[in-house]
Amino acid sequence: MSISLGFLLTLMLVSFIFTLSWGPLVIRWIKSHQVQQPIRNDGPQTHASKVGTPTMGGLIFLFPVLILSIIFGWRSSIGLAPLAVVFIFALIGFADDWSKIKKKSHKGLSGKLRLLLETLVSATFCWVLTQQGDYQTALYIPFCTEPFIMPPLAYIIFSTVVIVGTANAVNLTDGLDGLAIVPVSLVAGFMALVCLLMPESLYTSSSLIILLSCIGAGVGFLWYNTHPARIFMGDLGSLSLGGVLGAVAVILNLQLYLLIAGALFVIEALSVIIQVGSYKTRKKRVFKMAPIHHHFELSGWTENQVIVRAWIFTFLMVAMSLIAYGV
């Protein structure tokens, strides 16, 4: 790729510094407006100390990612189309956070309404992609050299599920300090490396800028989100991060690799589906609490143990994804 390594590293550094510098301003503003995260009453007792922690911290990394991606990645509107998904998902997350704050409850927008909005946005994004003459409705298969070409309609449906599923899976994962932001950054790093290995195109170069901006901003946000967190990213942050991973995976045809590299998110989402399904059909719970990170806490793991082990697991899955891609 013609973009120099020095430029790419500088972009990450600028994104990190931007986020780090912008963070205290956002935290002070949010605290002054008493925007606080409601804590579940049925959660681990150790979470009582989190009461009063400000939320909507996704603003800290959202603006650096959007601004830097537009400034340095603008070659075509379609190349930056994932940013539209990020922005709209952030708005949905904001509405969800605001609803929770107003209700003083951990329950925000109706799940059906949120899912409908996310599906409409994702399906529109995928449809627009398929209308581009130079875009292939293909899936790169792990350990295979040839992509699998899908019919456009099937591709739109599958890719929509990937984007919506990833956004909500990251949202479910974001239950402990730093639990979501590091795995998101690691998965973004995997896709950035793959971008460098792919033939240069409008899609790869724009995606690379977005991903590196996310990594720098993610590390910057971790400064404030590491345990004990000074701020939570909120649904505004988790939905936008999941949205960008899903959208970029689609634009690069890496949907199946996202399932491997982001296995942590898949497991977190499946734990909730299994728990709810089991309780509705058998009136029995499989886990002590879902998502599964709370199950581990109630099983005796400390919060830091859960977090760091999740990071290690994601690192290993990213390494496996690189091997599967043929690096």
Strands 148-149 and 138-139: antiparallel
User: Which of these ranges, 35-44, 107-116, 118-127, 201-210, has the smallest mean pLDDT?
Assistant: 35-44
Average pLDDT in the 251-265 region? Answer: 98
- Cβ pair 163, 221 in contact under 8 A: no
How confident is the model at residue 38, as a pLDDT? 66
Cβ-Cβ contacts under 8 Å for 10 (sequence gap 6 or more): none
How confident is the model at residue 106, as a pLDDT? 66
pLDDT digits (tens, 9 = 90+) for 88-115: 999 999 999 888 888 776 677 888 999 9
How confident is the model at residue 229, as a pLDDT? 92
pLDDT digits (tens, 9 = 90+) for 102-155: 877 667 788 899 999 999 999 999 999 999 988 999 999 999 989 999 999 999
- Cβ pair 248, 207 in contact under 8 A: yes
How confident is the model at residue 303, as a pLDDT? 95
> Does the bond joining 228 to the residue before it have cis omega, within 30 degrees of 0?
yes
How confident is the model at residue 37, as a pLDDT? 64
Distance CA 131, CA 178 (A): 38
Residue identified by tokens 């040839």 is: 146
